[in-house]
Structure formats: C-alpha cells, structure tokens
C-alpha cells in the first residue's frame, strides 16, 4: 500500500520538475523584444472599432452549458449499452436512476426557460 503512494508521489514530482524545466527553457531561449506594435490588440488584421467590452445575454452560456452536460451524459450511456448484457439487474436500476436525474434536470431547465433561444 505505501508503495502505491511512492509511485504516485514520484509521478507528481517528475511532472512538476518537467513543467518547471520546460517553462524555464522556453523563457531562456525565447527572443524577447517588447515593442508598442506587439502590445496592440490584433483581431484578424483589422483595427478594432468600438469598446472591447461586449456583453452577451447569459442565456447563450446556459444553453451551451446544458448542451455540453447532456452531450456528455449521452456519451456515458453508450458504453453502458454496449456491455449491458454482461451486467446484473442492479446496473439497470442504477441506469434508470441516472436517466431519471437527467430528465429531472431537463424538465427544470425547460420550466425555467433556459432552452428558449432569445
């Protein structure tokens, strides 16, 4: 059991050292000549017009977040469906609970109007 912690600690230590070495090497070898042109805002080669701060309706973010959440949950369902025949009845019950929680979340989002495109 303590051997497992030594292996994990070694990997973490090697990872930290690797990141420190690569960042230090990048800073040492990089060509740094700051200028005013490098500090300008660049967007597709066109000079920006107007204020850089643009506010979007929060509903767009909520809609995108809900899409990602339900998309990931669908990805979880696929492997389960592939190996369903090798699992017991308890796994079927767990999957029904999982899908029920998803449907409750979808119903709540629908009730709150998060799925309406404004």
Dist. CA 34–CA 31, nearest whole Å: 10
CB neighbours of 100 closer than 8 A, spacing ≥ 6? none
Measure the CA–CA gap between 24 and 69, rounded to whole angstroms: 38
Confidence category of residue 13, pLDDT binned at 50, 70, 90: very high
Question: How is residue 107 written in tokens?
Answer: 């119903």
pLDDT digits (tens, 9 = 90+) for 52-111: 777 777 778 888 888 888 888 888 888 888 887 788 788 888 888 988 998 898 899 889
């Amino acid at each position: 059991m303590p051997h497992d912690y030594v292996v994990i600690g070694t990997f973490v230590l090697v990872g930290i050292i690797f990141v420190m070495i690569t960042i230090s090497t990048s800073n040492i070898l990089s060509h740094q000549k700051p200028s005013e042109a490098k500090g300008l805002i660049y967007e597709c080669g066109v000079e920006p017009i107007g204020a850089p701060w643009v506010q979007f309706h929060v509903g767009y973010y909520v809609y995108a977040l809900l899409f990602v959440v339900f998309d990931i949950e669908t990805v979880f369902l696929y492997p389960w469906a592939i190996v369903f025949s090798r699992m017991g009845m308890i796994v079927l019950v767990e999957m029904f609970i999982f899908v029920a929680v998803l449907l409750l979340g979808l119903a709540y989002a629908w009730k709150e109007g998060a799925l309406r495109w404004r």
